[in-house]
């Protein structure tokens, strides 16, 4: 099944737009595990088991594993997700960006070693830096477009020509990325875009330029993004079908809902509340 089909099926089955980001920080683990990087798998697996019927995707962030030499735990975790929740796609949040043989190796890492269903990438080096990922049939690639951090303005808001011969400064760089990905790069239907929840007006603009592409939207919860504004800006569809999917990611608000023995129960309650809030916005 293609990544986009997996998303659509999980959205329908779990009635959800929520993606839980898996960003394990041992210093924030429940007291019994606190500070112990050897328990990264155990902690993340407990979150997966508590929330898998409430989400349309999981998104492990590779840096939180690699920093603790826990790549083997990441492999185990993604295998565990595929076992516990075979209908829920896994997005490897890696933000890779390189060309040629190096991109081929990164693609191999994401899809063969970790067995992710999709991966986040930087589009800065152009279409040929994305193509090696698209050789994996059915896998997804989600490209940075308008990110949630304040420094995103440094480059993403720069005014550029829309096309040769047009007046200079007629659209922002993030708009060029959205347009290019939707119109020229997405021949196989495998691409999506990352747009931060802290910029709902920009979400709406990206959705206008890329009407049907999946939008991965981090930034609700701890980062301050508004769930209702996010869904209204990005999700498109009817009661019967979604035509413009969103993958709304929450990490810390779910993972660290409690520091006690009830952490998994608290994570489920936080995920359920967020899922219901997102659903209320689209209905």
Q: Which domain holds residue 25?
A: 3-282
When divided into structural domains, the chain yields a total of: 1
Q: ∠34-40-41 over CA atoms, to 5°?
A: 140
The set of catalytic residues is 95
d(CA 165, CA 23): 45
d(CA 189, CA 93): 19
Question: To which H or E segment does residue 106 belong?
Answer: helix 100-108
Mean pLDDT of the region 253-258 = 95
- pLDDT for position 167: 54
Residues contacting residue 128 through CB under 8 Å, at least 6 positions apart: 99, 100, 103
Strands (E), 125-279: 140-146, 159-160, 171-172, 191-195, 215-218, 236-237, 242-244, 246-250
Mean pLDDT of the region 13-25 = 97
Whether 19 shows a pLDDT value over 60: the answer reads yes
Whether 169 shows a pLDDT value over 70: the answer reads no
Q: Which of helix, strand or coil describes residue 249?
A: strand
Q: Which CATH number goes with the domain that contains 259?
A: 3.20.20.70
d(CA 161, CA 73): 45
pTM > 0.75: yes or no: yes
Phi, then psi, of 66 in degrees rounded to 5: -60, -35
Structure confidence by residue, pLDDT tens digits, 20-45: 999 999 999 998 999 999 999 999 99
Instruction: Please name which of 8, 15, 2, 12 lies closest in space to residue 279, comparing C-alpha atoms.
Output: 15
Whether 224 shows a pLDDT value over 70: the answer reads no
Higher pLDDT, 197 or 19: 19
Q: First CA to last CA across the chain, in angstroms?
A: 28
């Amino acid at each position: 099944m293609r990544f986009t089909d997996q998303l659509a099926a999980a959205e329908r089955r779990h009635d959800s737009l929520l993606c839980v980001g898996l960003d394990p920080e041992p210093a924030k683990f429940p007291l019994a595990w606190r500070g112990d990087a050897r328990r990264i798998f155990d902690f993340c697996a407990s979150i997966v088991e508590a929330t898998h019927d409430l989400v349309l995707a999981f998104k492990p962030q590779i840096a939180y594993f690699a920093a603790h030499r826990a790549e083997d735990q990441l492999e185990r975790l993604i295998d565990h997700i595929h076992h516990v929740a075979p209908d829920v796609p896994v997005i490897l949040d890696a933000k890779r960006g390189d060309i040629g043989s190096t991109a081929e190796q990164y693609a191999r890492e994401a899809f063969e070693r970790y067995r992710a269903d999709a991966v986040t990438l930087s589009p800065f080096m152009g279409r040929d830096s994305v193509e090696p990922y698209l050789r994996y049939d059915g896998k997804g690639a989600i490209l940075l477009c308008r990110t949630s951090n304040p420094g995103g303005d440094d480059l993403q808001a720069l005014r550029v020509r829309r096309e040769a011969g047009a007046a200079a400064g007629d659209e922002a760089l993030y708009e060029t990325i959205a347009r290019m990905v939707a119109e020229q790069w997405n021949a196989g239907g495998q691409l999506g875009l990352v747009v931060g929840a802290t910029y709902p007006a920009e979400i709406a603009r990206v959705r206008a330029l890329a009407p049907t592409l999946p939008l991965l939207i981090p930034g609700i919860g701890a980062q301050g993004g508004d769930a209702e504004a996010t869904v209204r800006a990005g999700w498109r569809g009817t009661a019967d079908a979604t035509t413009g999917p969103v993958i709304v990611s929450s990490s810390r608000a779910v993972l660290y809902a409690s520091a006690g023995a009830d952490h998994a129960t608290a994570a489920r309650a936080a995920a359920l509340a967020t899922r219901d809030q997102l659903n209320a916005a689209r209905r």
